[in-house]
Amino acid sequence: MTQTTDKNRVLIFDTTLRDGEQSPGATMTHAEKLEIAALLDEMGVDIIEAGFPIASEGDFKAVSEIAKNSVNSVICGLARAQLPDIDRCWEAVKHAAQPRIHTFIGTSPLHRAIPNLSQDEMAERIHETVTHARNLCDNVQWSPMDATRTEWDYLARVVEIAIKAGASTINIPDTVGYTAPVESAELIRRLIAEVPGADEVIFATHCHNDLGMATANSLAAVAGGARQIECTINGLGERAGNTALEEVVMALKVRHDIMPWHTNVDTTKIMNISRRVATVSGFPVQFNKAVVGKNAFAHESGIHQDGMLKNVETFEIMRPEDVGLTESNLVMGKHSGRAALRDKLKHLGFEVGENQLKDVFVRFKELADRKKEVYDDDIVALMRAGEDPENDHIKLKSLRVVCGTSGPQSADMVLEIGGSEQKTEQTGDGPVDAAFNAVKALFPHSARLQLYQVHAVTEGTDAQATVSVRLEEDGRVVTGQSADTDTVVASVKAYIHALNRLVVRRAKSAPGEDRREISYKDVS
């Protein structure tokens, strides 16, 4: 059971793989989930909510394998207040050295109306399901969904029922980001003071960011007595997202003078996992995002730069190295050798074997020949773009585009599809549209383009473009990413990456492997 005798210790409960993945289009592959879980485990996250096992066979397998591979973290699965859900959850997490069942039910008037349960009927359901979970696992967490809009008397009543039934953690979700800091603190404080048995369990807070107050609400809840914060990397999640792990962890570290609480998270690993989650989810981090945004440690105004030169503390309250950020200096070029590249990759958080290093080195040399200056961010983008897709059914062999202010924009393309080369020339509303039309002509499909984003990795006209593409077909959502100094080439490679993933999804025969069979949006 994840308890602590340190009254000032705040447990970090990461739900990137469950609530974060619910963000439309953020679906991760099985291998990506395992990788993110390993990074979370390594950085000192106390509890990892690995998924919703009954949602699909894919979710079940991911949670089960994460549980088997966990080293330090508690591995938690989510379950609705239904016995089959809880049984399925236990089957998935029981392999963990430290398993947890997290069960929930919506307690606000709006949510009680969905299953059409009276207050008494719901109270009975809570007692039955928490008791059942506790009989399977000695570490049970219970959540009253939409707690911040639940009547006080009823919330206190059901929290007491859950505690008596055996829940060791009571999570108070602000499911729709409705509350404010003063309310968040008072709600936790009052529950601990007035509910029998509340002083014997851990209270947690789970805040959404609809009004931009998720971090403030979470920290306020800690001030009120909560000792577990539920959060996600980069604040990934439904609608406006969840509490961002990096924000609450760094806030507690930087302002320890007024917030005397601490976590077990190794903050130097924050930047690496932030970049990785952004890549696998297809959700780039906004430039001015707190802690992990590209501009978080950038200073452009003359006053700021002058102050920084004289004393870095003038305009920086934390050091870049505190979150694992290295300064983007020109330290690599076309004359750099493999040993230098391996050392740089290790410094950036990448451990590569000989075969992978050989492949990366070839692509690095190609990039160095095209770019005047190679920065750390270029190398990170190179690594991400070079990751093997789930299969290579479709490969780009050649591309030539014609664009300009007059005449039709066209793309002359050769693809290798299933080992056979095919060629076409298509027109479109711009070079990217023409190139995408060419791909679709050679590989017909009904997938709808949900997202197309382009970001410059560094500055300059020779900067690499990182492109993210999201496709949807028959409920299957896939993402693809790539980077290249040629924006059109990067776009086509990202599109093909997504299509290759779609080919894999189509080939899977297990029902529910690729799409969720249960609607569980806004479960907490």
- Binding residues for Mn(2+), by number, are 19, 206, 208, 242
Q: Which residues are annotated as a binding site?
A: 19, 206, 208, 242
Secondary structure letter of residue 390 according to DSSP: S
How many Å apart are CA 409 and CA 400, to the nearest integer? Answer: 11
Determine phi and psi for 511, rounding to 5 degrees: -60, 135
Distance from C-alpha of 216 to C-alpha of 235, rounded to nearest angstrom: 13
Contact 503, 394 (CB under 8 A): yes
The DSSP element (H or E) to which 135 belongs, if any, is helix 119-136
Paired tokens of 356: 């992978």
Q: Are 166 and 199 in contact (CB under 8 A)?
A: no
Contacts 24+ apart (CB under 8 A), 323-326: 323/246, 323/250, 323/267, 323/268, 323/270, 323/271, 323/291, 323/292, 324/267, 324/268, 324/269, 324/270, 324/271, 324/272, 324/349, 325/271, 325/297, 326/376
The 8 Å CB, 24+ separation contacts for 415-423 are 415/439, 415/442, 415/443, 415/496, 417/393, 417/442, 417/443, 418/393, 421/397
DSSP, collapsed to helix, strand or coil, labels residue 439 as helix
Q: Compute CA distances 479 → 8, 126, 397, 402, whole Å.
A: 41, 38, 21, 27
* Torsion on CA atoms 363, 366, 368, 370, rounded to nearest 10: -140
What is the pairing mode between strands 420-428 and 409-417?
A: antiparallel
- The residues pairing with 473 across neighbouring beta strands, listed in sequence order, are 476
- What CA–CA distance (Å, rounded) separates 399 from 508? 31
Which pairing describes strands 99-106 and 74-80: parallel, antiparallel, or unpaired? parallel
Residues found in the chain: 524
Token pair for 436: 């995408």
